[in-house]
Chain A
């Protein structure tokens, strides 16, 4: 709860900072400081809540479960990393730097609500707080028509999915007579095969699929991720997406667990489609940024595994997947913004010109591809473990592994370009010692996640 208050206050502070501080650099510095403070507050939240007894807040509107607070802390950490790596780039997007940071703080508020909600009303508000700042960030580069297009597209699709979500919530309310997701369990179980509830679950599933860009509701993703300013794409594709997944998992795990036989198959098909579309389409991309957009769809397919599994391991899976995927993707985007040319050819010969950049990118790509001893491997391992344990979906596991092999193809194309092709990549902004230091730290985090994942996990 402290974190929610803190992030709101910090957002407002950032807003006013724009009024009083004219220097972009000091604004970014202030933002970094506030993010660090926010991380401190989330840790404070975490340590002051007992592991075994979740605290119910405001008539059970929120419930501060330990794993929720853990997720908050880790995602705040990722945001801090993001700001440290890309704070400089945010300054280049446009004039309203302080507002951008304020919006990111508000997004984090949405994230906290989504990780702790215990009431569909809070879930809905959380999703909206998460989404609305994104529409604006997507369109923040107003000199670029593609950015405006991305913003508009995102907004329209987002509004559409919100409508579906509301419809689902309404139907669910009709069936369960409550918004409270834990009370819902008992009420729904009493009349298990209620068509109203099933339709509600289906609608909510579709709406969430929109938010996490699962096929066939993924159409907006490539255009939005490609059109938005690269710095904000990095944030949207990582922290925000993870938050949506956590909310997805929370609802389906807590409320619809007992009905899982009715919806698992639908979600399994969505998962398979997501993996197929994401991986196969990514192969044909020429721009690395667009490839990363499709790869984020593909990775969403893997994260859906956690939702499918409906067991305790799934919580671990989603947390470690979120952090591994976020850290590696933020890292790659931090390298990407340094380059002028976003095509594969733009990476040609990077290993000669900037060996360190090429090395860390390789590690990040290894992580995304799921090579052992990187975070991505442990992440994939956990979600696979969750589904194998569930036991019904071995075909999907094997299908997903084949798709993971395809993903190696497009991730390694970047490595091939960097190491084995000659060229002189154009660097748009100089890579300073500080950048290098942060990239090495990120890289170390990725490896630490792969070697000692237990440091990032908590009891569920």
Chain B
């Protein structure tokens, strides 16, 4: 019962938000995300013996149920969604938004969709939420985004829609293979998938994986991402990069690796190579970017590439690392975007060559930037370190042929990450103040938002045990 609250609270408040006028929506959004976070924290904090489930009949003739399930991975991602949404709401408190009712309504709806994706344990329900999370984001970007928002968002939408449709075909196929009557429940889908002969699993793999690959995004499918991140308003960029890309990774872990083991085994090398190519490629491009937003967008591709590579290397510690890193990356990237939006708001530009001198003008902001950036490049004692260490460990222990080479190349990509991140810190925080704009330091709500992020970064960097414990059980199950 408690699980349905995670979806219902943002959904209902989202609907109500459309009808509000003026600032009512802001407080509603804040209230709603606090409530949701409280529920999510309860779900992930309380030590349940078995995963909690919630099942109600939905469309019996299709064999689909409204069934939710929260194991460690799900509740961890719900918690992340709760935290990130709250930070977004807090950061937005002092920002004027046109037609706030609709804006917050869409934000809350996308949150509901995300929660649904993370909780669904019925394939058709999963598909429905997968699409529902996308549509509010489409409207948010198209309405409140940058100059080129309409074509860019359109491209993004069509990309992801193609992927989802392919996935739908794959899921239908799988559901027809279930023993007895057609069923979409996770257990039956897994049973159907694993019992398929290897050659069928091989083509089914791509049918399903393509949706996830576009969402993550894995290397050749990433072209929608930098443009979309750049054109979206910051709250949406945060939702996209901190949460929606995790949908892709989560889906791989929940709906692909357990379902089609033979297909995954056959293609994992290809995917790992693509991911590593993506890491190096994205890092190289990030180095030459001068727009901070694009820089972070490419860095995000690199980080997701590393996680994706680890997901396909089939080692317990690697799987565990992904879980941890999904959470940490979500926190860190949120922090990055928050800082970027503050820079843009104060200086009126995102061009690094025109920025500088933040350390003297706004010391608190500069400190926050440094901490979050260092976490993003995984310095020890920050949360990023724990996750990435486990990921590399996982790739190193993999039983595939060229795993050492892959690890070295991926590591190179991450070192490149340090290069461009430090470069960015240097250009923005230090150096001459490029413009004469008087820059205000943090306001109260910004202090609050950044405090949440930074305290999480430091806490989980020093004492990651709660996060590790939460996801330990699930990680073990993922290994073939």
Residues of A within 8 A of B (CB): 366, 370-373, 381, 384-385, 388-389, 394, 397-398, 401-402, 404-405, 408-409, 412, 416, 419-420, 452-454, 457
Contact = CB atoms under 8 A, between A and B. Distances in A.
A398 B169 contact: yes
Interface string B128-143: 1001100100010011
Contacts of B166: 398, 401
B169 A401 contact: yes
B162 A405 contact: yes
B150 A416 contact: yes
Contacts of B437: none
Given A408-B158, A419-B142, A372 B60 contact: no
A371 B173 CA distance: 19
Contact of A416 (B61, B131, B154): B154
Given A373-B128, A389-B176, A419-B142, A405 B161 contact: yes
B352 interface: no
Given A388-B176, A405-B165, A453-B62, 18 more contacts: A371-B131, A373-B132, A394-B173, A397-B169, A401-B166, A401-B168, A404-B165, A412-B154, A412-B157, A416-B142, A416-B150, A419-B143, A420-B143, A420-B150, A452-B59, A453-B59, A454-B61, A457-B61
A388 B169 contact: yes
B172 interface: yes
B281 interface: no
Interface residues of B, number: 27
10 contacts: A371-B131, A381-B172, A384-B172, A388-B173, A394-B169, A398-B207, A401-B165, A409-B154, A419-B142, A454-B60
A456 to B, nearest CB: 11
B127 interface: yes
A412 B60 CA distance: 32
A373 B162 CA distance: 18
- Identify whether the interface residues of A are mostly helix, strand, loop, or mixed: helix
Contacts of B162: 401-402, 405
A394 B174 CA distance: 13
Contacts of A404: 165
Nearest to A391: B176
Contacts of A419: 139, 142-143
Contacts of A402: 162, 165
Contacts of B61: 454, 457
A405 B139 CA distance: 18
Interface string B162-192: 1001101100110010000000000000000
A394 B172 CA distance: 11
Nearest to B182: A385
A403 to B, nearest CB: 10
A452 B142 CA distance: 30
Which of B165, B176, B207 is packed against the most chain A CB atoms within 10 Å?
A: B165
B382 to A, nearest CB: 39
B132 A372 contact: yes
A416 B154 CA distance: 9
A399 B61 CA distance: 27
Contact of B158 (A389, A401, A409): A409
B180 to A, nearest CB: 15
A385 B63 CA distance: 12
Contacts of A409: 154, 158
Nearest to A388: B172
B165 A454 contact: no
Contact of B161 (A408, A452, A457): A408
A452 B59 CA distance: 7
Contacts of A371: 131, 135
Contacts of B150: 416, 420
Contacts of A388: 169, 172-173, 176
Contacts of B135: 366, 371
A454 B142 contact: no
A366 B132 CA distance: 11
Contacts of B59: 452-454
A355 B431 CA distance: 50
Contact of B128 (A372, A384, A454): A372
A454 B60 CA distance: 8
Interface string B333-377: 000000000000000000000000000000000000000000000
A401 B158 CA distance: 12
Nearest to A362: B139
A452 B207 CA distance: 27
Contacts of B142: 416, 419-420
Nearest to A452: B59
Which of B127, B158, B168 is packed against the most chain A CB atoms within 10 Å?
A: B168
A182 B141 CA distance: 56
A303 to B, nearest CB: 18
Nearest to B172: A388
A409 B60 CA distance: 33
B39 to A, nearest CB: 23
Nearest to B142: A420
A420 B207 CA distance: 33
Contacts of B132: 372-373
Contacts of B143: 419-420
Contacts of A416: 142, 150, 154
Contacts of A398: 166, 169, 207
Contact of B172 (A385, A405, A457): A385
B405 to A, nearest CB: 35
Interface in B32-66: 59-62
A320 B59 CA distance: 14
Nearest to A359: B18
Contact of A381 (B139, B158, B168): B168
A316 B149 CA distance: 41
A418 to B, nearest CB: 11
Nearest to A457: B61
Contacts of B168: 381, 384, 401
Nearest to B167: A401
A372 B127 contact: yes
B166 to A, nearest CB: 6
B291 to A, nearest CB: 24
A28 B419 CA distance: 75
A416 B172 CA distance: 31
B215 to A, nearest CB: 15
Contacts of B207: 398
A385 B165 CA distance: 13
Contact of A372 (B131, B139, B154, B169): B131
A408 B159 CA distance: 11
A416 B153 CA distance: 11
A401 B162 CA distance: 7
Contacts of A389: 176
Give the 4 A-B CB pairs with smallest separation, nearest first. Answer: A401-B165, A372-B128, A405-B162, A372-B131
Contact of B157 (A366, A373, A408): A408
A50 B154 CA distance: 50
Nearest to B165: A401
Nearest to B60: A454
